[in-house]
Amino acid sequence: MAARKARTRKPPAAQCKPCKGTGEVSRTVRVGRKHREVGEQTGLCLNCFGTGEQPTA
| Neighbouring residues of 55: CB distance < 8 A, sequence distance ≥ 6 | 16, 47, 48, 49
Largest CA distance in the chain: 72
CB of 5 to Zn ion, least distance (A): 35
Between 38 and 46, whose beta carbon lies closer to Zn ion? 46
d(CA 54, CA 57): 9
Between 37 and 43, whose beta carbon lies closer to Zn ion? 43
CB of 16 to Zn ion, least distance (A): 3
Give the footprint of Zn ion on this chain (CB under 5 A).
16, 19, 45, 47-48
